């Protein structure tokens, strides 16, 4: 009889994915935000939301990402070697999608290492204000705020795990 792999810790997976993606691709560091931090952008101002669906035999769910517009402009400028003022809505949305895709890729790799393989969808990006998650029954949710370059980013993982 094969032992059931334990449900992975989504908080750790998020932390590892966020820090790795920002450090490797953008050479930025992010720290978990606490109530004492005072970021220059707030969680309620307009931002971009990326989301990628992961689908596997024993796990399914989504990786959500919320980025403030000013931060997306900074990331886009850094990634594409442009001035932040020249960033278009299209390229900002594209960078948000790509960042979410990279995060989802890292999350998928961590889940696979824990015995839960999955495939990624292409990212979807929308604009809006606050990140509202629909709570699915039985799904595990982990939502965390991160401070990077003074901006507040929100990452949420919502996954359902099935036993064998």
Partner 1 sequence: MSQKILSVDDSKAVRMLLARLFRPFACELFEAANGEEGLAVAVRERPDLIILDYNMPVMDGVSMLRQLRENAELRRTPVIMLTAESSAENIATVARLGVRDYVTKPFSEELFLAKVARAISLVARPTHDRRERKPDPQSERGGDAERPATRDAPTSATELAESSSAPSAAPLQRASVLVVDDSRTMRLSLTRALNELGFDNIKEAKNGRQALELVLKEPFDLMLLDMEMPEMNGMEVLLALKNNPQLGGLPVIVISGADQIENAVRCIEAGAEDYLPKPFNPTLLRARATSSIEKKRLRDLDRVRLIQLQTEKDRTESANRLVTQKNQILENLSSKLSKYLSPQIYQSIFRGEQTVEISAKRKKLTICFTDIAGFTETTDNLESEELTNVLNHYLTEMSVIALQHGATIDKFIGDAMLLFFGDPESKGVAEDAKACVLMAIAMQRRMRELEQEWRNRGLLRPFRIRMGITTGFCTVGNFGSRDRMDYTIIGNEVNLAARLQSATEPGSILLSHETNALVHGLVMTEEQPPITVKGFPKPISGYKLVGTYNDLVKAGRVVLEERDGLHVLVDLTKQDRSDVIEILQNILTQLKQPRGKVKQAAGAARRRKKGEAEL
Task: Return residues touching partner 1 (CB under 8 A).
Answer: 20-21, 23-27, 29, 31, 76, 79-81, 90-91, 94-95, 97-98, 101-102, 104-106, 108-109, 112, 117-122
Consecutive H or E run containing 69: helix 69-80
CB of 4 to partner 1, least distance (A): 20
Structure tokens at 68: 């403030």
Find the shortest distance in angstroms from Cβ 135 to partner 1.
26
Instruction: Name the residue nearer to partner 1 (CB basis): 38 or 129.
Output: 38
Distance CA 63, CA 47 (A): 16
DSSP assignment letter at 121: P
**Dihedral of the CA atoms 99, 101, 104, 106 (nearest 10)?**
-70
The minimum distance between CB 161 and partner 1, in angstroms, equals: 17
Length of the chain measured in residues: 164
CB of 27 to partner 1, least distance (A): 6
Query: Closest CB to partner 1 among 82 and 136?
Result: 82
């Amino acid at each position: 009889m094969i032992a059931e792999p334990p449900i992975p810790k989504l908080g750790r997976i998020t932390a590892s994915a966020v820090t790795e993606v920002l450090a490797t691709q953008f050479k930025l560091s992010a720290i978990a935000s606490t109530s004492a931090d005072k970021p220059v952008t707030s969680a309620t101002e307009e931002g971009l939301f990326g989301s990628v669906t992961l689908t596997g035999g024993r796990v399914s769910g989504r990786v959500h990402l919320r980025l403030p517009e000013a931060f997306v402009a900074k990331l886009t400028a850094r990634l594409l070697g442009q001035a932040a003022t020249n960033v278009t809505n299209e390229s900002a949305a594209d960078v948000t999608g790509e960042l979410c895709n990279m995060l989802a890729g890292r999350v998928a790799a961590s889940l696979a290492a824990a015995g839960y393989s999955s495939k990624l969808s292409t990212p979807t990006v929308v604009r809006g204000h606050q990140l509202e998650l629909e709570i699915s029954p039985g799904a595990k949710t982990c939502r965390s705020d991160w401070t990077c370059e003074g901006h507040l980013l929100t990452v949420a993982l919502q996954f359902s795990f099935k036993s064998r």
